[in-house]
Amino acid sequence: MATQTILTEDEARDLLARHVPLDETWGAHSVTVARLAGRIADALAAAGVDVDPVLARTGGLLHDLGRNVTHDGILHCWEGYQTLLARGQPLLARFCVVHSSGGMDAEEAASVGWPHTDYRPRTWEEKVVTIADGLAHYGDVVFLADRCASVRERYRERSSAARYTLILRTEKKIRALMAEVEALIGQPVEQLCGAKRLHDEGLRTED
Ligand SMILES: [Fe+2]
């Protein structure tokens, strides 16, 4: 069987654009995640880490593809994963599942009905996309604490207990990933990305 070619960054952008305008809602968020993931990956590469910034950007573009189907906080990750698996893109499909709640271990995955499998980010590319997702509020770059507080606020009333438990853990998980990066690049990731305070007026219903 022929080896499946990984979608290029341009092909990923075209695929995303078929589902959502790139300057609106989750399209803008995806473009911002890709840009930030690329910036963090570039910094890691400059520090001598073996990481592929192009793959990080491509994964960033597609990590939320499942929002084409649903905006449910967990289901959209699974839908994007299945969509990209069906397209023969297992490497890119992983970006959809590993950014869920900052990465779920097997017990956490099972608690929301997923297979009992570890879905935490493993590669540097997966880690930087998961971090970037924590900083990208639509087209804006915000501090992780602000973005997570915004998500907690929006989902408190409409989440199951299992789901909300994961939401409460997300900030700590992403902060741990950022600490891994910062130990190598010698700079706060939020500073590198140009994070700003999030002002909650006009919050929208998707994240
Ligand atoms: Fe996202």
For the chain, the structural domain boundaries read 9-193
What letter does residue 114 receive in the DSSP assignment? S
Q: Which residues of 54-73 are buried (b: 16+ CB within 10 A; e: fewer)?
A: ebbbbbbbbbbbbbbeeeeb
Write down the CATH number for the domain with range 9-193. 1.10.3210
User: Ligand 1: distance of its center to the CA of 2 in Å?
Assistant: 31
How far apart, in whole angstroms, are the C-alpha atoms of residue 22 and residue 20?
A: 6
Give the burial class of 153: count Cβ atoms within 10 A of its Cβ; 0-12 exposed, 13-18 middle, 19 or more buried: exposed
Average pLDDT, the chain: 94
Looking at per-residue confidence, does 158 or 131 come out higher? 131
- C-beta of residue 145 within 8 angstroms of C-beta of residue 160: no
Looking at per-residue confidence, does 60 or 202 come out higher? 60
pLDDT in tens, 42-56: 999 999 999 999 999
User: Ligand 1: distance of its center to the CA of 147 in Å?
Assistant: 11
pLDDT in tens, 76-130: 999 999 999 999 999 999 999 999 999 999 999 999 999 999 999 999 999 999 9
The reported pLDDT for the residue numbered 196 is 97
Q: Is the pLDDT of residue 17 over 50?
A: yes
The reported pLDDT for the residue numbered 3 is 54
pLDDT in tens, 145-189: 999 999 999 888 888 898 999 999 999 999 999 999 999 999 999
User: Ligand 1: distance of its center to the CA of 22 in Å?
Assistant: 13
Residue 33: which of 173, 130, 178 has the closest Cα? 130
User: Ligand 1: distance of its center to the CA of 64 in Å?
Assistant: 5
Q: Confidence class of residue 136 from pLDDT cuts 50, 70 and 90?
A: very high
**What percent of the chain shows pLDDT beyond 90?**
86
User: Ligand 1: distance of its center to the CA of 197 in Å?
Assistant: 18
